[in-house]
A and B are shown apart, each in its own frame.
Chain A
Amino acid sequence: MDNKIITCINCPVGCRMTVSLSEDGGFVSVTGNTCPRGALYAKQECTEPLRVITAVIPVSGSNLPLSVKTSGPVPKEKISAIMHLLGNVTVSAPVCTGEIIVPDVLGTGADIIATRSVACEKL
């Protein structure tokens, strides 16, 4: 058995929770939470932590970069691989908010989508 201490992020109370994990890292139990949302978060965070990633990528012919995000939460362990991949992506204007830039990024099921629109530069 292994114990892990984590801080709940659901509300400003910020409960310090102790999670018991089995030998193979599986979730066993949690103490220190003051509500059921804390228990759910502790389990998720200790078994498969998820994050939404946001970044910017260059737009050819524009000085302003394009802000993007994953369309849903992706496994935390894939953050650096996704950032590395985005370092090699460039788009051309025009781009619309919500447009898919990279579909199913690294097999996570989430797309990289634009979070703002870029018009064609006026000549």
Chain B
Amino acid sequence: MNNQYVDLLIVGSGPAGLAAAISAREEGIESILVLEREQEPGGILRQCIHNGFGLHRFHEELTGPEYAQRDIDRVRELNIPVECGTTVLSVSGNRVITCVSASKGFRRIEAGAVILAMGCRERPRGALCTPGTRCAGIYSAGTAQRFVNLEGFMPGKKVVILGSGDIGLIMARRMTLQGAKVLACVEIMPYSSGLNRNIVQCLEDYGIPLYLQHTVTDIRGRERLTGITIARVDEKRVPVPGTEIHFDCDTLLLSCGLIPENELSQGAGIDISPLTSGPVVSDNLETSVPGIFSCGNVLHVHDLVDHVSNESFKAGKAAASFIRNSFHAETRFVVCDGAGVRGTVPQRISAAPQEDVQLMFRPSGVFRNATAVVECGGQEILRKKAMIYTPGEMAVLTLHKELFCTLSDHIITVRIEGEKTNG
């Protein structure tokens, strides 16, 4: 068995892994290895051929492959090795990684620091409790996206989409443009979790109806899907008898949420937050295990890749600091979710942060003309008004680093002041 040592090992070469590698190298870390299980770097951006990426970071609208290519080019310029076709099997708490590839077989690699950048996966049918038969023709929206955009074939001709997340909306347009008939997009909530832009340009442009407060109540088909039934749901999300609508279709796409992919993190004994399904981290993106960092969608699901890159640059910098100085900042503050707030990241903050701290969270509903409030020991430390706080858009609050030395308590609470509305 081969044994190898690197200063920094990064798991995943999507936007998070690439940005982390770039920033660690720019901080002077020479020995870096990026492992990627696919045959090419770029992660999920490779199949996101639509445009709209990079407005914050590059001030232009790029497609997914173009956004990824900029980071890939930079990684090559910096001579950072990315080993593709390599699957990481385990990460241990003392930073020993096992991995396997066709060309190099099974390997054991010791690392000075590890950055986890594995991204997320889609919620599958089994997790949705849908009734009906187990026929072919049911795919997650991202799987269909891969088929159409990377492998060049269509998964079906008459399509219904369950869930109105952005990938589902994007696929409604994509399938339509490739000649399929998209009959409906069905959302159980009273609002879509997708961007307005996607509702308009992916559904309304093509006359695809959006059924809010509806869900799938039957799936029919023996070998291949032949049809589905949807029904309206009440406030408790229970189907209302008599409201059924039938669709004849051969394909059902599921766009019902994303789950950070943390099996490796759990194997390393890292604390996982039940709210984000990602690691509990401090303001420097370090997990509960010293020297193991986490960034991007494996930490919490983002809506914008620009935010993923930004977070991952920080993780790369923090990992570099850990490698150089064995610097491990003890955390002092605990961040808690208050009313209207879900899954704030980071969950821990050090006593004297090196940089301003960005708190990111998802509102638990739609709030109009509301205020986000951050408190510590009964004292308000930040207020931010907005015309809208919605679960479809991650809220970001910036706390100045000077602020922390003035706080007497160690519990920081984030909440939203205002009335929840129905969309």
Contact = CB atoms under 8 A, between A and B. Distances in A.
Interface string A1-33: 000001111011110000000000000000000
Contacts of A67: 49, 63, 65, 149
B196 A12 contact: yes
A9 B65 contact: no
Contact of A116 (B69, B196, B393): B69
Interface stretch (B108-116, B197-205, B309-317, B332-340): B197-205
Interface stretch (B5-13, B16-24, B384-392): B384-392
A63 B69 CA distance: 20
B61 interface: yes
Given A12-B195, A65-B150, A117-B69, A52 B61 contact: yes
B126 interface: no
A14 B63 contact: no
B66 interface: yes
Contact of B65 (A34, A51, A76, A115): A115
Contact of B66 (A8, A53, A116): A116
Contacts of B204: 7
A64 B200 contact: no
B77 interface: no
Interface in A71-88: 76, 79, 83
Contacts of A34: 387
Given A12-B390, A13-B388, A69-B63, A83 B177 contact: yes
Interface of B: 46, 49-51, 61, 63, 65-66, 69, 148-152, 177-178, 195-197, 199-201, 204-205, 387-388, 390, 392-393
Given A12-B393, A56-B149, A67-B149, 11 more contacts: A7-B199, A12-B195, A53-B177, A54-B51, A54-B63, A56-B148, A64-B151, A67-B63, A115-B66, A116-B66, A117-B69
Interface of A: 6-9, 11-14, 34, 51-56, 58, 63-65, 67, 69, 76, 79, 83, 97, 115-117
